[in-house]
Structure 1
Amino acid sequence: METTLKEQLIFAVQKTLRIKQKKHFSELRCLNLFAEILTVDSELKPTFLFDYSTARTEQIQKYVQELQKMGLLSRDLHILSIEDNTLIVNLNKTIKHLERMLQENELPVIDVSAHRASPRLAEACVTEQVKAQLDLILKHLKSQVAQRGKHQSCVVSASALFSSEWNLCTVFGFLLGFPVSYWFDFSKSFENCLSMTELRVFSVSASCPRISKNLKHQMYSFSVPETLYLDLQSTIEKWNRHLQSDFNKQTNFSELDISTEIACQAAITL
Structure 2
Amino acid sequence: MEAAQKEQLIFMTQKSLRLNRKKRFSESRCLQLLAEVLTVDLGLKPAFLFDYCSSNAEQIQKFVQELWKMGFLSENLHILSIQDNILIINLNRTIRHLERALQENGVQVIDVSVYRDDPQLAELWVTNQVKAHLDIIWKHLKSQVIQTGKSKSGFVTASEIFSSEWNLCTVFGFLLGFPVSYWFDFSKSFENCLSMTELRAFSFSAFCPRITKNLKYQMYSFSVPEILFLDLQSTIETWQRDLQSDFNLQSTFSDLCISTEAVCLPGITL
Question: Shared topology, TM-score over 0.5?
Answer: yes
Structure 1 runs of 4+ with >4 Å offset: none
Write the deviation string for residues 205-249 of structure 1: whole angstroms up to 9, x where unpaired.
Answer: 001000001000000000000000000000000000100000011
Equivalent position of 2:111 in the other structure: 111
Alpha-carbon deviation of 1:19? 6.0
Counterpart CA distance in 2 for 1:60 and 1:147 is 19
1:154 paired residue number: 154
Residues 17, 25 of structure 2: 8 Å contact kept: no
Mapping for residues 121-270 of structure 1, pairs under 5 Å: 121-270=121-270
Give the Cα separation in 2 of the matches to 1:148 and 1:210.
27
Tell me if structure 2 keeps the 8 A contact 1:5–1:211.
no
Relative distance call for 1:21 and 1:150 in structure 2 (3 A) is closer
2:148 is paired with a residue whose SS is helix
State the secondary structure of the residue aligned to 1:152: coil
How many angstroms apart in 1 are the aligned matches of 2:246 and 2:153? 28
| Preserved CA contact (<8 Å) 1:6 1:27 | no
Residue 78 (structure 1) aligned with residue 78 (structure 2): yes
Structure-1 separation of matches of 2:217 and 2:150: 36
Residue type of the alignment partner of 1:241: R
Alpha-carbon distance in structure 1 between the residues aligned to 2:163 and 2:56: 19
Q: Which moved more, 1:3-12 or 1:164-173?
A: 3-12
Equivalent residue letter for 2:14: Q
Structure 1 residues 27 and 151: CA distance shift in structure 2, 3 A: closer
Moved more, 23-32 or 227-236: 23-32
Query: Residue 17 of structure 2 contacts residue 24 of structure 2 at CA under 8 Å; is this kept in 1?
Result: no
Amino acid across the alignment from 1:121: L
Q: Separation in 2 of the partners of 1:231 and 1:19? A: 42
Note if contact 2:207-2:253 (Cα within 8 Å) is conserved in structure 1. yes
Structure 2 partner of 1:44: 44
1:74 deviation in Å? 1.0
Q: How far is the alpha carbon of 1:15 from its aligned partner?
A: 2.7
Any conservation in 1 of the 2:197–2:225 contact (CA below 8 Å)? yes
| Residues 1:151 and 1:30: Cα distance change in structure 2 (over 3 Å) | closer
5+ long unaligned stretches in structure 1: none
Number of residue pairs aligned between Structure 1 and Structure 2: 270
Q: Percent identity?
A: 72
CA contact (8 A) 2:79 2:89 kept: yes
The answer on 1:120 being equivalent to 2:120 is yes
User: Matched residues in 2 for 1:47 and 1:235: separation?
Assistant: 20
Equivalent residue, structure 2, for 1:95: 95
TM-score, length basis structure 1: 0.97
Segments of 5+ residues of structure 2 without an aligned counterpart are none
**What is the CA distance between 1:22 and its match in structure 2?**
3.8
Q: Distance in 1 between matches of 2:41 and 2:153?
A: 18
- 1:201 positional shift: 0.2
CA RMSD for the aligned pairs? 1.1
Deviation, structure 1 residue 13: 1.4
User: Which shifted more, 146-155 or 60-69?
Assistant: 146-155
| Counterpart residue identity of residue 261, structure 2 | E
- Matched residues in 1 for 2:253 and 2:27: separation? 20
2:167–2:186 Cα contact (<8 Å) kept: yes
| CA shift for structure 1 position 168 | 0.4
8 Å CA contact 2:45–2:176 kept in 1: the answer is yes
Cα deviation, residue 21, structure 1: 3.5
Larger mean Cα displacement after TM superposition, 16-25 or 48-57: 16-25
- Taking structure 2 as the reference length, what is the TM-score of the superposition? 0.97
Q: Which amino acid aligns with 2:138?
A: L
SS at match of 1:224: strand
- In 2, the alpha carbon distance for the partners of 1:67 and 1:89 equals 14
